[in-house]
């Protein structure tokens, strides 16, 4: 049997083995606690990041709609005022795009899309890097969401989903798409022409036919994309419209006999096709 020598802390082999087991168990527990703590930290960090990403975008102060014109601190701004489509009741009546490039009264960080309530107060805001990048804004049928279209003179655009919140706009996901190729199917889903890649056409010119184009449906309620018609080496699909009842999509199929023919527009064939919209959920 092991024992401790009187007067000193020296241990014999059995106590050493017992102490070793205890030390090993403690180290194992500490390691588990560390791992658990790291998991909790990561989950908390993701939660906070998600909460921050979903937080409504702050609205710059000093902007209002007075007598049909947008003002900042009483100074009228040069911008076109748009009405929200009929039938939409989401607390927003009008909106416009303002920029520091066209008015000294606007700061660079205030460049963007302003939304105004029926009483003329600014109720929501979407920031832009420059006024000129705005191309279009497409409301969902119920006004609960919208897609902001940004880009330049080229046919490739960028679609960003926003949710209309009682305290402002919440930014959602973004997608590379083709100019004009977007339409809402119902309050939660929209179809669009997605740019998947750029084709090697051996020419320096940038053209819409030089892109891999697929017809895609996005469901904002579940955050899921569904490819309805996928581009391949010899075919691309461009969204044209949605049927009145939202059950089908009208597409244009672009095709060539060989992938090397995309650089010659005379070799590109077109035909109209329809695709059924899958049930929601």
d(CA 121, CA 213): 41
Tokens of 109: 């960080």
Residue 208 confidence (pLDDT): 67
- The kind and range of the H/E element at 246 are none
Q: Is 209 helix (H, G, I), strand (E, B) or coil?
A: helix
Residue with tokens 């049909």: 68
Using DSSP, state whether 39 is helix, strand or coil.
Answer: helix
- Residues 6 and 11: their CA atoms lie apart, in Å, by 10
Strand, helix or coil at 133? Answer: helix
- Answer whether residue 269 shows pLDDT above 50: yes
User: Which spans in the chain are helix H?
Assistant: 13-54
Confidence of residue 106 (pLDDT cuts 50, 70, 90): very high
Q: What is the pLDDT of residues 177-186, one digit of tens each?
A: 988 889 999 9
Percent of the chain with pLDDT over 90: 62
Examine the pLDDT at 174 and tell me if it is beyond 90. Answer: yes
pLDDT of residue 205: 53
Mean pLDDT of 32-44: 35
Computed over every residue of the chain, the mean pLDDT equals: 81
Q: From 203, 204, 133, select the one nearest 174 (Cα to Cα).
A: 133
pTM of the model: 0.76
Identify the pLDDT of residue 64: 93
């Amino acid at each position: 049997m092991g024992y401790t020598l009187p007067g000193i802390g020296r241990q014999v082999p059995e106590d050493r083995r017992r102490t070793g087991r205890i030390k090993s168990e403690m180290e194992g527990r500490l390691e588990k606690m560390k791992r658990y703590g790291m998991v909790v930290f990561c989950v908390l960090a993701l939660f906070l990041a998600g909460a921050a990403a979903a937080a409504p975008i702050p609205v710059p102060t000093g902007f209002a709609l007075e007598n049909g014109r947008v003002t900042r601190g009483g100074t009228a701004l040069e911008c076109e005022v748009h009405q929200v489509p009929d039938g939409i009741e989401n607390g927003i009546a009008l909106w416009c795009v303002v920029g520091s490039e066209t008015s000294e009264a606007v700061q660079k960080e205030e460049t963007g899309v302003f939304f105004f309530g029926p009483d003329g107060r600014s109720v929501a805001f979407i920031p832009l890097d420059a006024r000129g990048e705005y191309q279009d804004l497409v409301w969902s049928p119920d006004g609960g969401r919208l897609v902001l279209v940004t880009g330049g003179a080229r046919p490739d655009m960028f679609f960003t989903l926003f949710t209309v919140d009682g305290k402002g706009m919440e930014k959602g996901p973004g997608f590379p798409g083709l100019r004009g190729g977007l339409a809402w199917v119902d309050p939660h889903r929209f179809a669009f022409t997605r740019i998947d890649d750029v084709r090697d056409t051996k020419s320096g010119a940038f053209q819409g036919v030089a892109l891999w184009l697929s017809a895609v449906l996005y469901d904002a309620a579940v955050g899921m994309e569904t490819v309805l018609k996928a581009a391949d080496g010899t075919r691309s699909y461009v969204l044209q419209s949605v049927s009145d009842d939202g059950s089908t999509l009208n597409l244009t199929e672009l095709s060539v006999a060989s992938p090397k023919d995309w650089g010659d527009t005379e070799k590109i064939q077109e035909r109209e096709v329809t695709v059924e919209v899958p049930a929601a959920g």
